[in-house]
Structure 1
Amino acid sequence: MCRGLAIVLSGVFIVVLLGQRTTTSAGALSVPEDSESTRLTHPITTVMTFADGTAEVKHGQGFVVGNRLFTVYHNLAPRINNTSPTKREIYVAGTLMKPVYTDSAHDIAIFEIPDALCKPHCTALATSHLPALNPDRQVYWIQKAGGERLVMEGRVQHYAWLSEAPPAFDADVETTCQRNLIVEVDTPFRPGTSGSPIFDATTDTIVGMIQGSLIRAGGDTGYFKPMTCLLPLAQL
Structure 2
Amino acid sequence: MLDKVKQSLQEAIAPIQDGASVMVSGFGDAGIPFELMSAIMDKGLRELTIISNNAGTHETGIAGLIKAGRVRKVVCSHPRPAHSDVFANAYRAGQVELECMPQGTLAERLRAAGAGLGPFFTPTGYGTLIAEGKEQRVINGKGYIMEQPLTGDFALVRANLGDRWGNLTYRWAARNFGPVMCMAAKHTIAQVNRIVPLGDLAPEHVMTPGIFVQSVVAIGGER
TM-score between both structures, scaled by the size of structure 1: 0.26
TM-score between both structures, scaled by the size of structure 2: 0.27
Structure number with the higher helix fraction is 2
